[in-house]
């Protein structure tokens, strides 16, 4: 009485080949899709820097998901398989040196691998362009708004929490940002760029943005900065180079709003008080 | 069986000289004060431990209500449930209460205080009066922080991290901020004293035969926690003293005000970093405390899980020594990873802090596999504490995997200060302090009160909370990746954040419902006690050898201590630990009882 019944034996080859077909289909789909790995909820990155971070995210997500599933299934198996059925006392095993060494060494290797990719990507994301002529923007965060100042063109955009300021920059060019704060710590964060950096009193942070698509991207302060932190929004508008030149000329020809950060802050407090 | 050690009941004998001092304070508890006076004057570690736990659980419920307030506000994008200012107070106090006044004190002031002396066979903590001082400082500190709600300007509202210069006197002028700082100083000293007490107790008051490698893992973890407290808390206490100086004595330690250069063409005035204080200094000091603090909060709870899994699997803990070394590795690494909270400051060495942070995954992984190994081929019994510990495994697994992602600076750049981080640390902290913490409560409650908690209500508590946990925190990962920053009271309506936030709020109410069940359970056990007996779980460690609740000096008799689970060895002499590892001597001795007399008299702790 060993082996499956005739009926079951007839079924088996079919089952087996169908299962293999399914595995092959999934495998082929993964290979063919290649660069179309899902985004796992993250932005794909509207800058070259953001795209590098996005690829790293995908790698980390897949690695994390595999480890999660493996450990999840191990726990589930232990919980389902070894539920108490008798009052017998199981073998009182305490050590298995081979296993313990394996589950120490393998994670070390995985972590080192993750670190190598981290290291490469963080150098790409933080790299500052040394060639060309980047468009420089001085970004100053304050309670509660942003000032975007273009030193090359002597142009300034100042916005407060009731009227989100727009940082207009050309796409497909290097934007070099100097980031400062005039009071407390703020966070310059554009989700679509997969990037944020603190604006801190006493520190001038610098970073490059290479925006690959024109469009308007929302930004927001991420570091809690007091009462109106929730309302400290801004936009980054990436336009073509010619549109950018037009915008600059427009700004230069219209009289500059003489507003300063100090004035803006005074107005915020007065406006809120009244 | 007659092979137990008789101990002098007063504890003033040769084993524990410290007890003499304690005994002189109060004599025998049978003749000491009773009622409220007993609770207020006691130096008994059990009374102090219970005081700690009750206070911490009250704080937990208060902070939980604040979390509900936060979630109600966020359930819709432009809610006016609270004002912006009130919202800032709510989340600041929720975080501060949970982290400073619940999670740590519940574990190292409450559970450890109660359990560690019992687990090592000591009659009390090493310094009973210092222990009482710890509690009163903690209670005073807790009341001080809560008083913030009743002063002009309201409670502290600069988030639980109090980043300079937002926490300076210009930006946070209220007395609530000072109350918050004073509270940290008071509870900081309380924690330091408890750390001293734990380390001294574990090193000097172990019973005869209780060698270091026969200590239960919970005690091991509390030893390492105590050492971490001694490393981390003095830094915080010093940092807040400097913050007071900045706020009230005109120093500029954390501010650049007063030392800025004049504005240059096109630039606003900027600071000359060589001539003034630095806000980043606060972050460095705070997180040098703050990250070890994360493990001060986690290690005790790992310890609880490591007690519960073996008992309800009917096996010794798998990889005992690996577990100990993993705990030490976590503690050592935790002192070198603080700047991973500062990746986006632009002023820290990213690769160093990234690598060390990633490496913490290794000892944590070892613990995971050891817990699974403990269950493997066991006889699992799904009591309430066991269910909570399995819930802890799943919760901590999810929080751990997202933690590895955050250890990578380029990923941290776009998740830092978003709800992704909020989801991550809530899964880690809720997983440890709530899942494992309440596992500990359900597990040791019979020992502490001599009565059982209702299993059916306990399991209902677990399942409702387990569902609520995932419903609350998983959507926060999603909105975080969509770019929702943390600590915002309102958010734009057109970004698809609303529905996920609503789901998260529903989850928070499910969690709240589960804690209502716990109250019912405690009430039931109080009104209709079900006697527990000395060892209702057939547990392994020494505390289950004495009565429930234990007498004033804990033990009149001790079993021979030949492994980390003397009570099991005593009750199941035919099932000793099978040690396959190198250097694990003694515990495979199946005739543990026969030579106990000589052991008991030769291994007196060197106090």
> What does the pLDDT look like over B541-588, one tens digit per residue?
999 999 999 999 999 989 999 999 999 999 999 998 876 544 444 444
For residue B92, give the nearest of B66, B55, B64 by alpha carbon. Answer: B66
User: Model ipTM?
Assistant: 0.87
Return the percentage of chain B with pLDDT > 90, whole number.
Answer: 81
Interface touch A233/B492, C-beta < 8 Å? yes
B381, B394, B481: residue with CB nearest A84: B381
For residue A111, give the nearest of B343, B407, B335 by alpha carbon. Answer: B407
CA–CA distance, B422 with B50 (Å, rounded to integer): 31
Ramachandran region of residue B538, left (φ > 0), alpha (ψ -120 to 50) or beta? left
Choose the weakest-confidence range: B22-26, B296-300, B477-481: B22-26
Q: Which residues of A touch B401 (CB under 8 A)?
A: 64-65, 67-68
A216-252 pLDDT tens trace? 999 999 999 999 999 899 999 999 999 999 999 998 8
Return the percentage of chain B with pLDDT > 70, whole number.
Answer: 87
The residue with tokens 């035969």 is: B209
8 Å CB contact between B525 and B449: yes
**Strands, E, within chain A: which ranges?**
135-142, 145-150, 155-160, 166-170, 174-181, 186-190, 195-199, 205-210, 215-221, 233-239
Contacts of B556 (CB under 8 A, 6+ apart): B6, B7, B9, B546
B478, B492, B577: residue with CB nearest A41: B478
* B275 pLDDT more than 90: no
Q: If you average pLDDT over residues B421-431, what whole number do you get?
A: 96
Full set of structural domains in chain A with CATH = 14-85+96-126 (1.10.287), 135-273 (2.60.40.420)
Phi, psi (deg, nearest 5) at residue B242: -65, -35
8 Å CB contact between B135 and B143: no
Instruction: State pTM to two decimals.
Output: 0.88
B594-605 pLDDT tens trace? 333 333 333 333
Q: Which residues of A touch B354 (CB under 8 A)?
A: 115, 118-119, 122
- Could you tell me the pLDDT band of residue A80, with boundaries at 50, 70 and 90? very high
Q: How far is CA B496 from CA A57, A163, B132, in A?
A: 22, 22, 52
CA–CA distance, B521 with B438 (Å, rounded to integer): 13
Structure confidence at residue B590 (pLDDT): 38
Q: Which residues sit opposite B558 in a β-bridge?
A: B5
CA-nearest residue to A178 within chain B is: B267
Ramachandran region of residue B153, left (φ > 0), alpha (ψ -120 to 50) or beta? left
A64, A92, A224: residue with CB nearest B405: A64
* B1 pLDDT more than 90: no
CA–CA distance, B600 with B6 (Å, rounded to integer): 10
**Mutating which of B280, B414, B480, B495 best tests the A interface, going by the most A Cβ atoms within 10 A?**
B414
Number of Cβ within 10 Å of residue B85's Cβ equals 15
Interface touch A185/B163, C-beta < 8 Å? yes
Contacts of A133 (CB under 8 A, 6+ apart): none
Q: Which residues of A touch B486 (CB under 8 A)?
A: 222, 224
Choose the weakest-confidence range: A256-265, B170-179, B280-289: A256-265
Interface touch A68/B418, C-beta < 8 Å? no
- Could you tell me the pLDDT band of residue B273, with boundaries at 50, 70 and 90? low
B325-359 pLDDT tens trace? 999 999 999 999 999 999 999 999 999 999 999 99
B84, B362, B379: residue with CB nearest A90: B379
d(CA A15, nearest CA chain B) in Å: 32
B84, B266, B375: residue with CB nearest A230: B84
* B13 pLDDT more than 50: no
**A216 SS3 class:** strand
CA-nearest residue to A220 within chain B is: B485
Interface touch B379/A197, C-beta < 8 Å? no
Interface touch A229/B320, C-beta < 8 Å? no
d(CA B227, nearest CA chain A) in Å: 25
d(CA A158, nearest CA chain B) in Å: 13
Structure confidence at residue B597 (pLDDT): 37
**Mutating which of A46, A105, A200 best tests the B interface, going by the most B Cβ atoms within 10 A?**
A200
Interface touch B351/A184, C-beta < 8 Å? no
| Structure-block tokens of residue B332 | 């050592």
B85, B280, B581: residue with CB nearest A227: B85
Q: If you average pLDDT over residues A52-79, what whole number do you get?
A: 96
Structure confidence at residue B479 (pLDDT): 96
**Mutating which of A158, A222, A226, A268 best tests the B interface, going by the most B Cβ atoms within 10 A?**
A222
CA-nearest residue to B88 within chain A is: A227
* B11 pLDDT more than 60: no
Structure confidence at residue B586 (pLDDT): 42
**Mutating which of A93, A181, A193, A256 best tests the B interface, going by the most B Cβ atoms within 10 A?**
A93
Phi, psi (deg, nearest 5) at residue A187: -125, 125
B224-243 pLDDT tens trace? 999 999 999 999 999 999 99
Rg of chain B (C-alpha set): 25
Number of Cβ within 10 Å of residue B36's Cβ equals 8
Phi, psi (deg, nearest 5) at residue A158: -125, 130
């Amino acid at each position: 009485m060993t082996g499956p019944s005739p009926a079951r034996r007839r079924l088996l080859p079919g089952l087996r080949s169908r299962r293999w077909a399914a595995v092959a289909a999934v495998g082929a789909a993964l290979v063919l899709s290649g660069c179309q790995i899902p985004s796992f909820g993250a932005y794909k990155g509207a800058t070259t820097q953001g795209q590098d971070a996005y690829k790293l995210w995908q790698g980390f997500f897949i690695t994390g998901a595999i480890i999660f599933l493996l450990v999840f299934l191990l726990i589930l198996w232990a919980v389902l398989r070894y539920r108490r059925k008798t009052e017998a006392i199981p073998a009182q095993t305490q050590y298995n040196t081979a296993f313990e060494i394996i589950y120490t060494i393998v994670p070390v290797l995985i972590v080192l691998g993750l670190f190598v990719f981290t290291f490469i990507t963080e150098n790409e994301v933080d790299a500052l362009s040394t060639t060309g002529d980047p468009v420089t923007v001085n970004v100053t965060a304050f309670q509660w708004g942003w000032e975007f100042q273009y030193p090359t063109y002597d142009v300034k955009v100042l916005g407060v929490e009731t009227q989100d300021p727009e940082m207009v920059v050309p796409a497909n060019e290097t934007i070099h940002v100097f980031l400062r704060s005039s009071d407390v710590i703020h966070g310059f964060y554009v989700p679509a760029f997969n990037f944020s950096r603190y604006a801190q009193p006493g520190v001038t942070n610098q970073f490059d943005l290479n925006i690959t698509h024109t469009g308007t991207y929302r930004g927001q302060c991420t570091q809690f900065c007091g009462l109106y932190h929730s309302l400290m929004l801004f936009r980054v508008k990436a336009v073509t180079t010619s549109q950018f030149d037009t915008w600059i000329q427009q700004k230069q020809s219209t009289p500059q709003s003489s507003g300063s950060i100090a004035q803006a802050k005074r107005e915020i407090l007065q406006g809120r008080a009244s | 069986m007659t092979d137990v050690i008789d101990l002098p009941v007063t504890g003033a004998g040769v084993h524990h000289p410290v007890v003499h001092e304690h005994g002189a304070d109060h004599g025998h508890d049978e003749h000491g004060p009773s009622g409220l006076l007993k609770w207020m004057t006691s130096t008994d570690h059990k009374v102090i431990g219970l005081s700690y736990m009750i206070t911490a659980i009250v704080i937990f419920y208060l902070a939980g209500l604040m979390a509900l307030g936060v979630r109600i506000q966020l359930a819709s994008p432009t809610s006016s449930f609270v004002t912006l200012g009130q919202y800032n107070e709510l989340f600041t106090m929720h975080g501060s209460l949970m982290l400073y006044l619940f999670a740590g004190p519940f574990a190292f002031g409450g559970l450890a205080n109660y359990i560690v002396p019992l687990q090592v066979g000591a009659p009390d903590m090493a310094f009973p009066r210092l222990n009482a001082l710890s509690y009163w400082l903690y209670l005073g500190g807790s009341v001080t922080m809560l008083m913030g709600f009743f002063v002009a300007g309201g409670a502290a509202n600069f988030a639980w991290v109090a980043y300079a210069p937002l926490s300076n006197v210009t930006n946070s002028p209220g007395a609530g901020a000072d109350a918050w700082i004073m509270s940290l100083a008071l509870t900081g000293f309380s924690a330091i004293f408890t750390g001293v007490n734990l380390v001294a107790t574990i090193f000097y008051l172990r019973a005869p035969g209780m060698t270091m490698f026969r200590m239960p893992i919970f005690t091991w973890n509390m030893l390492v926690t105590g050492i971490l407290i001694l490393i981390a808390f003095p830094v915080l206490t010093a940092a807040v003293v400097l913050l007071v100086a900045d706020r009230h004595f005109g120093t500029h330690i954390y501010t650049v005000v007063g030392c800025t250069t004049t504005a240059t063409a096109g630039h606003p005035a900027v600071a000359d970093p060589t001539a003034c204080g630095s806000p980043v200094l606060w972050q460095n000091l705070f997180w040098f405390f703050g990250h070890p603090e994360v493990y001060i909060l986690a290690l005790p709870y790992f310890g609880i899980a490591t007690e519960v899994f073996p008992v309800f699997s009917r096996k010794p803990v798998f990889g005992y020594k690996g577990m100990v070394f993993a705990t030490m590795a976590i503690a050592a690494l935790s002192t070198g990873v603080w700047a991973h909270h500062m990746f986006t400051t632009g002023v820290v060495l990213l690769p160093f802090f990234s690598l060390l942070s990633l490496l913490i995954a290794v000892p944590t992984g070892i613990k995971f596999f050891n817990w699974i190994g403990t269950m493997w081929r066991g006889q699992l019994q799904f009591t309430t504490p066991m269910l909570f510990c399995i819930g802890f495994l799943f919760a901590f697994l999810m929080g751990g995997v997202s933690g590895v992602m955050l250890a990578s600076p380029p990923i941290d750049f776009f998740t830092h200060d978003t709800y992704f981080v909020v989801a991550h640390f809530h899964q880690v902290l809720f997983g440890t302090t709530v899942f494992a913490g309440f596992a500990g409560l359900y597990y040791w409650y019979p020992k502490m009160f001599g009565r059982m908690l209702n299993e059916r209500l306990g399991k209902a508590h677990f399942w409702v909370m387990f569902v609520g946990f995932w419903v609350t925190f998983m959507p926060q990962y999603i909105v975080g990746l969509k770019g929702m920053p943390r600590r915002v009271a309102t958010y734009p309506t057109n970004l698809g954040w609303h529905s996920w936030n609503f789901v998260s709020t529903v989850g928070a109410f499910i969690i709240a419902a589960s804690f209502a069940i716990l109250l019912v359970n405690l009430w039931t056990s109080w009104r209709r006690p079900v006697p527990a007996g000395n060892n209702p779980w057939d547990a392994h460690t020494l505390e289950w050898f004495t009565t429930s609740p234990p007498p004033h000096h804990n033990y009149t008799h001790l079993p021979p201590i030949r492994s980390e689970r003397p009570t099991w060895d005593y009750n199941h002499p035919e099932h000793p630990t099978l040690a396959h590892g190198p250097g694990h001597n003694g515990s495979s001795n199946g005739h543990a009882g026969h030579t106990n007399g000589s052991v008991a008299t030769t291994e007196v702790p060197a106090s």
